[in-house]
Structure 1
Amino acid sequence: MTIQDIIRKTLQQIKQRNLTLTPDVYSEYFCQEAKRAKVIVEDCQKFEKFVNQLPSDIKKMVKKRDVQNVDQLVRLLAAELTRTDAKKSGEIIQAYVLLTKRLLQVIELLHDRTASKMAKVDRDKIASFLDKVEIDAIRDHWNNFVIDYDDSFLDRLDIYCKVDKSDLEAMVDAIIECIKSKKSDISLQEVAQIVIASMTPSIASGMDDELATVSNQIRSNPELLTSKAMIDDLKYMIQKRIELDKKAVVKQITELDSVIEHISSTLVNVINWGDNNHKAIRAIQGELGSIDLKADSFEVIHAKLIAIANSLESETKNLNEEMHNSHEEVNALRKRVKILEEALRKERKRSTTDPLTNLPNRRAIDDFISKQESAYKRYGDNYAVVLFDIDHFKSVNDTYGHDAGDVILASFGKLLRRYSRDLDFVGRWGGEEFLVVLPKTDKKGALQFAEKLREIVKKSKFMYKDTRIPITVSGGVADRANHSSIESMLKQADENLYKAKKGGRNKVVN
């Protein structure tokens, strides 16, 4: 089969389906015909080439979605890329939020030199963009620090001296060394104040009753610091102070967790809702950036996060309202379009259909002939017409009434449609005249069709109120190849019909 044959078959398929000839429609049907004919056309292989170059998971998606052409493939890839980018952005934002949460756990513990150094290094890292793996590594680093941290070395604070306080552990060691050498000139009253301070929780909101009792005893009698029993009590109390601080940290983290998780989930939803939320997202990112983990207290950070959460909640509410309103508007428009489409369909049918016979009217016939004329001029596809007229139809109306005439017209129309081909076009030309357009048919083929219909009508029983009405038809035949124009062909068919009637009726003339 040649390319010309494939082109001809493609155009036939488009005509038979009454499709508008566009580049996309032509390309689709052309490639189908080429594949059916087992002819390899390079332009028809583009889609397969593109698919073969895709990753295996995308290939599976293409097959699952039943993607058939390049346009559908482009739309699928664009949608997948948009969805992947939004998901990736949400993961990174969540990772940053979790990292911030872990840094807040240790913000009040930065009196430790190691913790201070870690905080400074990691805070510098956060200033630049990190991927999710790097963020998770920093978060795990701080998790381990919080779990392993233990300031029980304060138990050694039996006696106190003035030393460098930049490092807590070094300070305690220096105090012990000072007392051992008996070079300290610090009074027990000063030591008592420092001991009381060391027992006061640095994170928890206050002491419990037991800690308060011991603190009052030392404050009223500093000499107790020299007794072994008090030293043992102090070790126990300092450990208790550590437990209180840890409980306070857990409580603060829990409070921040609920706020941050709410911010995270809501922010991801805002991102996933589309491209129109850039302004709101930038504003929220600015608010998150304003949090100073080093300078701000827990209360200030908590208040800022609550404000951000409220802002997100407001933005989410606005988006929900907009989506709800848009959904209602779309539904209303859909209903209206559906009504208009149905009205248009009925109107189109009325404008191109004869109400009595339910056949296409003259306007519809003219449209169909115009399509056949285009194919004739472009590809040389000949076509023919047969103009039928019911013999003595006026006598039928006069004898049996107009209702009987209407029944004859409708019945004859059904006969024409029943015995014509699927690609033929049957319509009512006007009055008792009917026109049949025969695509890909010459004058000889049209004459055979017309003679067959004439014989069928002659032998048929046309009934009206239990009365048989004898009916015959005459016909005029013409084809396009033997005429210079449509008008000339139709005129010839009309003249041949006139000759058939003048020749005694119940005849076909070509």
Structure 2
Amino acid sequence: MSHACKGQQTELDNKLAALRTSLKENADLENIRPLTDQVENLLQQASARIDADLAQAKQSFFESCSTLQRARGLEPETRRQLRAVIEQSQLPETKLTHLLPHLSTLSELYSQVLANLHQQKGIEPQTLPKSVHALSNALLNVLSEFDFEAKAAQAIKEQRSALAHASKPEELVTICVDSMKIIIDAVKVERTGSEQFLSRLNASLDRINQALEQSVSTSAQLNQVQLETEKQIRQQLSALSQDVEASDRLEPLKVQIASRLESINDLLAKRSSNTELEQKLEESLQQMSKRLTELESESKNYQTRLEEQRHKLYVDNLTGLKNRAAFDERFEIEFERAQRYQLPLTLAVMDLDHFKAINDTYGHIAGDKTLGAVGKLLKQWLRASDFVARYGGEEFVLLLPQQTIASSTPMLNKLCKKIASIPFIYKGQKLNVTMSIGVAQADPKESRIALFDRADNALYQAKNNGRNQIVTA
């Protein structure tokens, strides 16, 4: 949701500003109408696109959940919870688009858990905990990407805490279902806020349209009346002049002049009444201008909220670094810039060594603190032009624009040594943390995917060579 509304909202701000300027400059009211029509069209187009996207995503989610619901071996409580999730997902209050990928990921994890349940009879007892642990870590990574507020944030935190103690597939099933319900409820709150804003905006535009129609009608009537009044005054003055020239007697002339003057006074009184109507018209225009100012303020506040949500969408909540979605977007930009201007670009794929052992030995909280500390170090260590993101789990990616392998390797070596030298302490125990790095420089003849694959392969080579080192491709 958060990529679709942004452009529409900015264009809406521009149209409102143009409408306000036109009113302040006393533009022809007939020329103002197209602006209001354009604003209404923008709202209708955005609403239609959002509804279509949400309908498609909701149907996909429903089909996935229905498939899982038909699986055998589910406990009655689990089946009931899943049925509740399906019913909630089919309510008219649909979801925000930017959270749907996470719901899809949760659904995939849920499928894996169910598959695990059905295969328990064929799995060796010593193998099962490893499978549960892998699923737990995957789900933990997904939940760490959410950044809700207040009640929902606390609920997600509790689910992550429950994951740290989950040891059975059944427990993961419950956590998956509960997490989906939390996300759906949180999304409904955001959706309601968006709908309320659009509803207020539509109502305000309707009022402005009505006022414009009345103002245009009143203005046209005033123009016609003024023209007619001025014409009649000129006719009376002309007739008065003719009477004076044609009359040779004083008394009849006095009577004629008095009659003409009375008619002129009536016309002047009518013109004064028209002036009052003009004042009312001016007041109506001022009220419209005031309401447009309020709409601009509401629109800017809403856009600020959208920007905040967009920022959260691109930030990894656990480390404070940018996330994979932000990296994909920036990688495309930097790669195209390097290709267009024939500039060097270096990509580093980094992975914390033996991170699974930290989670297994000290728990997920210790692992989270380690990731947070590494994220803080990376932000402090790198240049302003560099771009670093958490790619997933304990893996990080680093873009170094206008840097070659030769110029970036010394800095990356220092980074490895810096991480290895930091005393990571958790509950009085020192954690040994090191990092392996694979580095590759962009080639004008290759694609972005090929560049990433080379850096990723170099990372695995660094792992195989003993870790805590850099390997270039």
Q: TM-score range by the shorter chain?
A: 0.3 to 0.5
Rg larger in structure: 1
Q: Which has the higher contact order (CA 8 A, sep 6+)?
A: 2
Q: TM-score, normalised by structure 2?
A: 0.47
